[in-house]
A and B are shown apart, each in its own frame.
Chain A
Amino acid sequence: EAQVTQNPRYLITVTGKKLTVTCSQNMNHEYMSWYRQDPGLGLRQIYYSMNVEVTDKGDVPEGYKVSRKEKRNFPLILESPSPNQTSLYFCASSSLGAGSNIQYFGAGTRLSVL
């Protein structure tokens, strides 16, 4: 079954404690992306990757890092989380190319930074 898997689903942490949210896809997709969703602001792109070792900033990259060492994995790293990073995070993947490509989303990670 085609899947994008995020872990953990829920996470409560404290300010400054480094954390990583993992994302894995089993569809051999070149493209992967992270979004955050906040009330009233909708979904906004944080970082994206067109392929292994190729990453770029989205609209709201401050305070986040990503890596793409393998095609299937795209972890989101918060080196020093702050309360304004409390949000619902989604990972997505798709094949590359024309605008008809479908994006598949993970179930989400709800992060609270105290």
Chain B
Amino acid sequence: DAKTTQPNSMESNEEEPVHLPCNHSTISGTDYIHWYRQLPSQGPEYVIHGLTSNVNNRMASLAIAEDRKSSTLILHRATLRDAAVYYCILRDGFSSNTGKLIFGQGTTLQVKP
């Protein structure tokens, strides 16, 4: 599975946008880019995913570079509830034999009031 690189931690102020970067220079053509987050004392939860085009949903936006070697998760207005560890994960679209999600260390987002 291709690897992702994320900053260990980031800080944001409440009500401001947050851009969480992820590098995946060895991504293959069939890899989907997934983002999950883990709030304190909870299980991981799905945030968003995409393949080539930018994606929006009620939680966030995903901006994917044209060469797909990097992506950015955008939280448009951070709230205190968004403080969590954010994981950027690649999943092969055609060989999910184990279904395994490979969680790296993720980015710990702190949101200041």
Contacts and interface: CB of A to CB of B under 8 A. Distances in A.
A107 B41 CA distance: 8
For this complex, into which size category does the number of interface residues on chain A fall? Answer: 20 to 34
Q: Main SS of chain B's interface residues?
A: loop
A42 B96 CA distance: 20
Interface in B58-94: 91-94
Interface residues of B, number: 26
Contact of A97 (B30, B42, B96): B96
A33 B46 CA distance: 15
A45 B32 contact: no
Given A98-B93, A105-B45, A48 B51 contact: no
Contacts of B41: 108
Given A107-B42, A108-B43, A101 B96 contact: yes
A102 interface: yes
A94 B36 CA distance: 14
Interface of A: 4, 31, 33, 42-43, 45, 48, 50, 56, 58-59, 90, 92, 94, 96-108
